[in-house]
Copies of this chain bind each other. A is one copy, B any other.
Amino acid sequence: MIVVQKYGGSSVADKDRILNVANRIKNRIEQGDKVVVIVSAMGKTTDNLINLAKSISKNPPPREMDMLLTTGEQISIALLSIALNELGIKAKSFNAFQLNIKTTHDFTKARIKDIDSNKILKELEENSVVIVAGFQGITESGDLTTLGRGGSDTTAVAVAAKLGVNCEIYSDVDGIYTCDPRIVPNAKKLKYITFDDALELSSLGAKVLHSRSVELAKKYNVKLYCASSFTDEEGTWVVDKLPEWLEQPVVTGATIEKDQIKITLNNLPKENEIIERIFETLSNKRINIDMISMFTDKGNIHLSFSVLNDLRQTIEESIEKIDPSIEVLYQGMFDKVSIVGVGMKSSPGVAARFFKVLSKNDIIPELVTTSEIKISVLVSKDKSEQLLKELAKEFSLGG
């Protein structure tokens, strides 16, 4: 059976870890599987290259950044191939351009348009392990691109989708948990999770999977398997629907996102499109405005939203440009605590239980947002971990 595996940067961080990955692949080959492997750059390679570039220029041209950063994955694939061949396993490494992984022209954040699976299939037929550089792409005009953060996961899911097979994602985390086990020690590892819940959890800061790769997996219904490359413990399957024998929990997981600030713009005029312009400007700067709250009195609008703390200066400058008279108020820092679960759709009363936990613990949230499958609150940093623990209790997220 063909399987696509992806190993993250920490799984190939040094010589010994690369040999460990090679041995894991060897085991699969000996079980009769054919393996396509996608690898990330070793350890901190990408960050080191970025720092080197930034030491030369504060605004390096994106095309040249991609030329620089794609070397990280190329080093990994070559070394993994050398390790596999050393173990007697036939293997060949390929850059994205060699497999025609065509992307858009958006340097540093390109999107995959197509992959030519013929070469992969041909190499697999010749019983070679096919090692693919993650994160990379090539444009129609022959320029190298990168897919942005989490790009190697995207490559892996795209290759699996094209081949119509499952995708195993190995990292230093051994699966998806209901909550962060460092905060909630009896947090449970999930055997299965739906794409929707995994999407919410990953966009809420659970570090195992990148939202983009989960979106892609959902779109092409590629079953994902997340596990650790350091142990043989069972990981987590991310699937379209939970197996029928498994009861859908009301709440699948709970997360904390740290270091948010709340920005309040008071007394905005109701008449003109000032709010639209603010959101548009921030969106153009790729600032992710998160929890939004608005209320109106006597013809004026008061707007609050949360963002990551390090975006404060950019926001200040952007709003200053739109209208210097707008008063920008900052509060922080806060943490954002969320519960997630597709089961919430069919279980009324979850919000009530959530707010009961808040009031029992004397926590007054700064901001609240809800969706069909998620409730999030912005709370003071000294209360956030306590809240997470109490929510884990209330919604049976512990073991």
Which residues of A are at the interface with B, using a C-beta cutoff of 8 A?
15, 18-19, 49, 52-53, 55-57, 60-61, 63-65, 67-68, 70-71, 74-75, 77-79, 81-83, 85-86, 92-93, 95, 97-98, 142-144
A and B contact pairs by CB, cutoff 8 A, 22 listed: A15-B55, A15-B56, A18-B56, A19-B56, A52-B79, A53-B79, A56-B79, A56-B83, A57-B82, A57-B86, A60-B86, A61-B81, A61-B82, A61-B85, A63-B92, A64-B82, A64-B93, A65-B78, A65-B82, A67-B93, A68-B74, A70-B74
Between A15, A60, A75, the greatest number of chain B beta carbons within 10 A of the residue's beta carbon is seen for A75
Contact A82 B60, beta carbon cutoff 8 Å: yes
Interface residues of A, dominant DSSP: helix
Contact A68 B82, beta carbon cutoff 8 Å: yes
In the complex, A80→B307 CA distance in Å?
Answer: 36
Question: Given B19, B55, B71, B85, which contacts A64 in the complex, CB threshold below 8 Å?
Answer: B85
* Residues of chain B lying within 8 A (CB to CB) of residue A143: 98
A375 to chain B, nearest CB (A): 45
In the complex, A15→B53 CA distance in Å?
Answer: 9
Contact B86 A56, beta carbon cutoff 8 Å: yes
Contact B67 A53, beta carbon cutoff 8 Å: no
In the complex, A64→B75 CA distance in Å?
Answer: 10
Contact A81 B67, beta carbon cutoff 8 Å: yes
* Residues of chain B lying within 8 A (CB to CB) of residue A67: 74, 77-78, 81, 93, 95
The residue in chain B whose Cβ has the minimal distance to the Cβ of A73 is B71
* Residues of chain B lying within 8 A (CB to CB) of residue A142: 98
A10 to chain B, nearest CB (A): 17
In the complex, A67→B78 CA distance in Å?
Answer: 6
In the complex, A71→B73 CA distance in Å?
Answer: 10
With A56-B18, A56-B86 known as contacts, the answer to whether A64 contacts B49 (CB < 8 A) is: no
A17 to chain B, nearest CB (A): 11
Question: Given B15, B53, B83, which contacts A82 in the complex, CB threshold below 8 Å?
Answer: B53
In the complex, A95→B136 CA distance in Å?
Answer: 14
Contact A71 B68, beta carbon cutoff 8 Å: no
Between A18, A67, A83, A85, the greatest number of chain B beta carbons within 10 A of the residue's beta carbon is seen for A67
A137 to chain B, nearest CB (A): 14
The residue in chain B whose Cβ has the minimal distance to the Cβ of A86 is B57
* Residues of chain B lying within 8 A (CB to CB) of residue A77: 67
Contact A81 B64, beta carbon cutoff 8 Å: yes
In the complex, A77→B93 CA distance in Å?
Answer: 22
A130 to chain B, nearest CB (A): 13
* Residues of chain B lying within 8 A (CB to CB) of residue A19: 56
Question: Given B71, B81, B93, B98, which contacts A75 in the complex, CB threshold below 8 Å?
Answer: B71
Contact A56 B74, beta carbon cutoff 8 Å: no
* Residues of chain B lying within 8 A (CB to CB) of residue A81: 61, 64, 67
Contact B68 A85, beta carbon cutoff 8 Å: no
Contact B60 A85, beta carbon cutoff 8 Å: yes
Contact B57 A83, beta carbon cutoff 8 Å: yes
In the complex, A298→B40 CA distance in Å?
Answer: 68
* Residues of chain B lying within 8 A (CB to CB) of residue A86: 56-57, 60
Question: What are the 6 A-B residue pairs with the smallest beta carbon separation, nearest first?
Answer: A68-B78, A57-B86, A67-B78, A71-B71, A60-B82, A64-B81
* Residues of chain B lying within 8 A (CB to CB) of residue A49: 75
In the complex, A122→B241 CA distance in Å?
Answer: 53
* Residues of chain B lying within 8 A (CB to CB) of residue A75: 49, 68, 71
